[in-house]
Amino acid sequence: MIWFSWPETLLMLMGAIVLDFLVGDPRPIPHPVILIGKWIGFWESKLLPGPAKRANGVLLMLIVTASSFALTWAAVAAAWRIHPWLGYATNTWLISTTVAIKGLKDAAMLVYRALSRGDLTEARKYTGYIVGRDTDGLDASELSRAAVETVAENTVDAVVSPLFFALLGGAPLAMFYRAANTLDSMVGYRNEKYLRFGWASARLDDALNWIPARLTGWMLVAVSLFYPPASASRSRRAVRDFARLHPSPNSGIPESAVAGGLGIQLGGVNRYGGIPSERARLGWANRPIEREDIRHAVRLLYGVSYLIMGGLSCAALALCW
Instruction: Give the C-alpha separation, 291 to 317, whole Å.
Output: 40
**Could you read off the pLDDT of 251-296 as tens digits, one per residue?**
999 999 999 999 999 999 999 888 898 989 999 999 999 999 999 9
pTM across the whole model: 0.94
Is residue 115 within 8 Å of residue 143, measured between CB atoms?
yes
Instruction: Give the C-alpha separation, 193 to 173, whole Å.
Output: 29
Question: Residue 286: phi, psi to the nearest 5?
Answer: -70, -25
Grade residue 2 by pLDDT with cuts at 50, 70 and 90. low
**Could you read off the pLDDT of 42-100 as tens digits, one per residue?**
999 999 988 888 999 999 999 999 999 999 999 999 999 999 999 999 999 999 999 99
Is residue 39 within 8 Å of residue 178, measured between CB atoms?
no
Instruction: Give the C-alpha separation, 232 to 302, whole Å.
Output: 16
Instruction: Give the C-alpha separation, 218 to 240, whole Å.
Output: 11
Question: Residue 169: phi, psi to the nearest 5?
Answer: -150, 25
Domain range annotation of the chain: 6-320
Q: How crowded is residue 59: how many other Cβ atoms within 10 Å of its Cβ?
A: 16
